[in-house]
Amino acid sequence: MQTTPDATPPAAPPATCEPLGQAGPFGQTGPEETGPQAPLADPPEAAALVDAVAVQRTIGRALAHGSAPLRHGELVELEALLRDHIRLLLPIARARAAVLRPSTAQWLRYRARLDWITNQAGRELDGGLHSARQQVRSLAHDCRWLLRQTPEWNRKATP
């Protein structure tokens, strides 16, 4: 098909999703996190804001195997608490990733885990009771992993 020089190009369709690399509530939205990030606080300040006992208590509630399953309202409360903890812990883990040697297997695994956590923490809580339980449990495991990346838990974690 030939076009004439005075023909106007077709308009691009409007973007329906957030572009990768945009800053969201949990940092960058895509795996191309190469630019500067806008964390909640600097890693040393974020580490001071973390109440490890409260984080452990929330994780314990989310992962408890009791006879009475949690109701949806309790799951919503736990999800909000876990998201807040993740929001505080992510800058610390990102600072640790920044000092790893790029393109090594360890760096790639670490970055993949951080991208996974960022993605999962940004998802809405599912409406179904069983899927909401699974999602809260997954957030609790991610929160536990992030807590173990802090200097208080891991001597190698100092950025």
pLDDT at 159: 45
Q: Is this model's pTM higher than 0.95 or not?
A: no
- Collect contacts of 107-114 with beta carbons under 8 A, ≥24 apart: 111/31, 111/33, 113/145, 114/90
Decide if pLDDT at 108 tops 60: yes
Token code pair at residue 18 = 């957030």
In this structure, how many other beta carbons lie within 10 angstroms of the beta carbon of residue 121? 23
Q: Which of 7-11, 31-35, 76-80, 123-127 has the lowest mean pLDDT?
A: 31-35
Q: Cα-flanking dihedrals φ and ψ of residue 2, to 5°?
A: -95, 145
Task: State the pLDDT confidence band at 68, using cuts at 50, 70 and 90.
Answer: confident
Residues 6+ apart with CB under 8 A from 21: 28, 29, 30, 32, 33, 35
Place of tokens 């945009």: 22
Residues 6+ apart with CB under 8 A from 70: 78, 133, 136
Element at 121 (helix H, strand E): helix 105-121
